[in-house]
């Protein structure tokens, strides 16, 4: 029999509870405050009933005044305890949220790239922001407040029995009905909360993708089409919320109806007993009229708290699922080398992104230290896949990739990547200063080193020409800089890390004229005395390569130097001739 997904998820609650009690002193303090608050609150109706029977009816104003002072002090104590309880429970919640954010982000940044290939960014944002914030309600408006409500019910019931056990029994008979009603709603509410969070993730993903691709939408006049898609998704989100609100709204009137019924019974039966049997006093009836709302309020609020708790547990289930996901590149290697020569060898490498769909087929080549290997071919030939494999963003299906005659899987992953720098055509820059985008927060790289490196590859003047120079804050994704300017910064980033292996992935295409000469000169300098793999569309830029690998459909079909390949009059010669004619035309 399958697990009922709509049942209360105690396993997630247990994990959150253990996170909460890591600060034991604070957590215990919150519980003790909840106990005192519940005890103090339950005394007020009892004292009110005593005041009516012993001071108001017998007309004892002096004693009544003293009792009013005590009631005022009790009320003040309630206010102070309530303030401390809310403050401390929120501190507990934020401590838990901080830990969850750190754990989740640490997991995300260590996932393999294949995870991001199949996971929408909007979903990750929802998990990291919306779901995490919802989890905070488990403590601020969930488990701790529920604990307070339960304690309140316990103390109120005890005080009710102390006041008049017969009237207390009348009220107690009604309680199971409220519990049954709450249980009936639990499963439906859990189901609607899950649907609501899933639809929120779809909504966030859609919005983030459209914001990132706004230029494409406007370029192809797809505003109306995307608007209609957004409207449909927004309507689905609205329906998901309304389904939750339906059950939420229905629960409260039913609980209030049961409360009114209990109040009516107490008044009728209590009044009847007071008139005919004198075993119930007027003060006790009044006390119970106050007791019942105090008893029903936490029960009614428990339903609301349970909704928030359920919502938080749905979110925690999704967040913990990501935290528990083991989807990172295995880092089992033990070899660490401070210096490498930089030789690269691919031996019969086979790779596939999707099972049984090979992207690379028996790829083999050797790059000696200091060599420049150029890889050319049509889009989809597998060129970029090679550099992804070299950095172990993906693991191969079969074959071997060696650096300095050692399989890359035998290196510690961090050590392996420290020897490789990559310059991509689509350069990603963070919304930070030029300097921070170059150092990436590495404290070992100083400002002086960055400036010196920029001068060596002759881009210092370009950076200084920007407002603020190295302190110029780049806009999101570097949109305020041209493609060529972003690539120059990426060149400097690679150069300043001083790698032995350099990869230029189509870094010479889509360059503005003003930056092209700077990039060409920078390329010569940063590839000097380094093993370089260059993937380029502009074949004229790789004439001096040590070896050119020509790829088609995941295979190397030709290899050699520029002149040798032209003389063969094969596929490379066709590509070169076609590009030469396009340039002249």
Q: Which residues 6+ apart lie within 8 Å of 173 measured at CB?
A: none
Q: Over range 159-184, report the average pLDDT.
A: 81
Q: Are 177 and 258 in contact (CB under 8 A)?
A: yes
Q: Are 375 and 534 in contact (CB under 8 A)?
A: yes
User: What is the per-residue pLDDT across 323-351, written as a single tens digit (0 to 9) for each?
Assistant: 998 888 888 888 998 889 999 999 999 99
Greater model confidence, 546 or 185 = 546
- Identify the weakest region by mean pLDDT among 19-33, 183-197, 217-231, 279-293: 183-197
pLDDT (0 to 100) of residue 452: 92
pLDDT (0 to 100) of residue 129: 84
What would the DSSP string read from start to end of 164-229?
Answer: -HHHHHHHHHHHHHHHHHHHHHHHHHHHHHHHHHHHHHHHHHHHHHHHHTHHHHHHTT-HHHHHHH
DSSP state of 152: H
pLDDT exceeds cutoff 80 at 213: no
Does the pTM exceed 0.75? no
pLDDT (0 to 100) of residue 389: 92
Highest mean pLDDT: which range of 11-15, 334-338, 425-429? 334-338
User: What is the per-residue pLDDT across 119-144, written as a single tens digit (0 to 9) for each?
Assistant: 887 788 888 888 888 888 887 777 77
pLDDT (0 to 100) of residue 574: 87
Q: Are 419 and 404 in contact (CB under 8 A)?
A: no
DSSP H or E segment with residue 8: none
pLDDT (0 to 100) of residue 2: 42
Q: How confident is the model at residue 416 (pLDDT cuts 50, 70, 90)?
A: very high
Burial-class residue 386 by CB neighbours within 10 Å (0-12, 13-18, 19+).
buried
Task: Tell me the average pLDDT of the chain.
Answer: 83
Q: How confident is the model at residue 450 (pLDDT cuts 50, 70, 90)?
A: very high
Q: How far apart are CA 210 and CA 481, in angstroms?
A: 21
Q: Are 81 and 40 in contact (CB under 8 A)?
A: yes
- Identify the weakest region by mean pLDDT among 200-214, 394-408, 433-447: 200-214
User: What is the per-residue pLDDT across 459-517, written as a single tens digit (0 to 9) for each?
Assistant: 898 899 989 999 998 877 667 787 778 888 888 888 898 889 999 876 444 566 666 77
Q: How confident is the model at residue 4 (pLDDT cuts 50, 70, 90)?
A: very low
Q: Which residues 6+ apart lie within 8 Å of 570 measured at CB?
A: 550, 557, 558
pLDDT above 70 coverage of the chain, percent: 91
pLDDT above 90 coverage of the chain, percent: 17
Q: How confident is the model at residue 216 (pLDDT cuts 50, 70, 90)?
A: low
Greater model confidence, 279 or 335 = 335
What would the DSSP string read from start to end of 379-445?
Answer: TTSSHHHHHHHHTTSS--SEEEEEETTEEGGGB-HHHHHHTEEEEESS----SSBHHHHHHTT-TTS
Q: How confident is the model at residue 3 (pLDDT cuts 50, 70, 90)?
A: very low
Burial-class residue 127 by CB neighbours within 10 Å (0-12, 13-18, 19+).
buried
Q: How confident is the model at residue 52 (pLDDT cuts 50, 70, 90)?
A: confident
pLDDT exceeds cutoff 90 at 559: yes
Of 365, 394, 386, 408, give the one whose Cα is nearest residue 558.
Answer: 365
Q: Are 377 and 383 in contact (CB under 8 A)?
A: yes
pLDDT (0 to 100) of residue 5: 47
Of 89, 209, 80, give the one whose Cα is nearest residue 140.
Answer: 89
CA dihedral 443, 446, 451, 453 (to 10 degrees): -70
Q: How far apart are CA 512 and CA 532, in angstroms?
A: 23
Highest mean pLDDT: which range of 247-256, 502-511, 526-535? 526-535
User: What is the per-residue pLDDT across 79-128, written as a single tens digit (0 to 9) for each?
Assistant: 998 899 888 888 888 888 888 888 999 888 888 888 888 888 778 888 88
Q: How far apart are CA 198 and CA 447, in angstroms?
A: 46
Greater model confidence, 502 or 428 = 502
pLDDT (0 to 100) of residue 118: 82
Of 351, 362, 481, give the one whose Cα is nearest residue 427.
Answer: 481
Angle, CA of 221, 226 and 227, to the nearest 5°: 105
Of 495, 389, 387, 478, give the one whose Cα is nearest residue 427.
Answer: 478
Domains located in the chain, CATH noted: 10-324 (1.20.1560.10), 344-427+500-584 (3.40.50.300)
DSSP state of 469: G
* β-sheet bridge partners, residue 433: 473
Q: How far apart are CA 105 and CA 124, in angstroms?
A: 10
């Amino acid at each position: 029999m399958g697990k009922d997904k709509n049942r209360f998820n105690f396993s997630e609650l247990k994990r959150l509870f253990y996170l909460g009690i890591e600060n034991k002193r604070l957590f215990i303090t919150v519980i003790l405050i909840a106990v005192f608050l519940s005890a103090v609150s339950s005394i007020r109706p009892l004292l009110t009933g005593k005041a009516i029977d012993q001071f108001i009816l017998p007309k004892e104003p002096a004693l009544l005044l003293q009792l009013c002072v005590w009631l005022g002090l009790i009320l003040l104590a309630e206010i102070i305890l309530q303030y401390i309880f809310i403050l401390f429970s929120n501190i507990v919640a934020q401590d838990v949220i901080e830990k969850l954010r750190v754990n989740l982000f640490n997991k995300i940044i260590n996932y393999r790239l294949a995870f991001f290939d199949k996971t929408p960014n909007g979903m990750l944002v929802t998990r990291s922001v919306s779901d995490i914030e919802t989890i905070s309600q488990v403590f601020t408006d969930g488990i701790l407040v529920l604990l307070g409500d339960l304690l309140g019910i316990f103390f109120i019931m005890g005080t009710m029995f102390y006041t008049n056990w017969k009237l207390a029994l009348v009220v107690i008979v009604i309680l199971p009905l409220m519990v049954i009603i709450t249980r009936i709603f639990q499963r439906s509410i859990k189901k609607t909360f899950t649907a609501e969070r899933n639809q929120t993730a779809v909504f966030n993903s859609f919005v983030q993708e459209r914001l990132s691709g706004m230029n494409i939408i406007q370029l192809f006049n797809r505003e109306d089409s995307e608007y209609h898609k957004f409207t449909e998704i927004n309507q689905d989100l609205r329906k998901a919320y309304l389904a939750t609100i339906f059950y939420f709204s229905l629960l409260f009137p039913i609980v209030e109806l049961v409360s009114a019924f209990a109040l009516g019974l107490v008044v009728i039966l209590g009044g009847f007993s007071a008139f005919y049997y004198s075993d119930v006093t007027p003060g006790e009836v009044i006390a119970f009229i106050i007791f019942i709302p105090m008893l029903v309020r936490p029960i009614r609020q428990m339903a609301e708290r349970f909704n928030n708790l359920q919502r938080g547990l749905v979110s925690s289930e999704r967040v913990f699922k990501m935290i528990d996901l083991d989807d990172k590149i295995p880092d089992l290697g033990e070899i660490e080398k401070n210096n490498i020569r930089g030789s690269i060898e691919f031996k019969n490498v086979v790779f596939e992104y999707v099972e049984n769909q090979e992207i690379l087929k028996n790829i083999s080549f050797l790059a000696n230290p200091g060599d420049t290997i150029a890889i050319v071919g049509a889009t989809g030939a597998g060129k970029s896949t090679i550099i992804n494999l070299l950095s172990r963003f993906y693991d191969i299906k079969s074959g071997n990739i060696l650096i300095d005659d050692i399989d890359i899987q035998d290196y510690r992953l961090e050590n392996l990547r420290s020897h490789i720098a990559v310059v991509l055509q689509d350069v990603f820059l963070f919304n930070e200063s030029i300097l921070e985008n170059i150092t990436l927060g590495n404290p070992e790289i100083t400002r002086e080193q960055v400036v010196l490196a920029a001068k060596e590859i002759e881009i210092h003047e370009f950076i200084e020409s920007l407002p603020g120079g190295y302190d110029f804050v780049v806009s999101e994704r570097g949109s305020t800089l041209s493609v060529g300017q972003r690539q120059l910064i990426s060149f400097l980033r690679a150069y300043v890390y001083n790698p032995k292996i350099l990869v230029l992935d189509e870094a010479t295409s889509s360059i503005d004229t003003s930056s092209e000469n700077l990039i060409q000169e920078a390329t010569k300098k940063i590839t000097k005395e380094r093993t370089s793999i260059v993937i380029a569309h502009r074949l004229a830029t790789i004439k001096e390569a040590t070896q050119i690998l020509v790829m088609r459909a995941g295979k190397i079909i030709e290899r050699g130097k520029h002149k040798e390949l032209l003389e063969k009059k094969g596929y490379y010669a066709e590509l070169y001739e076609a590009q030469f004619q396009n340039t002249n035309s």
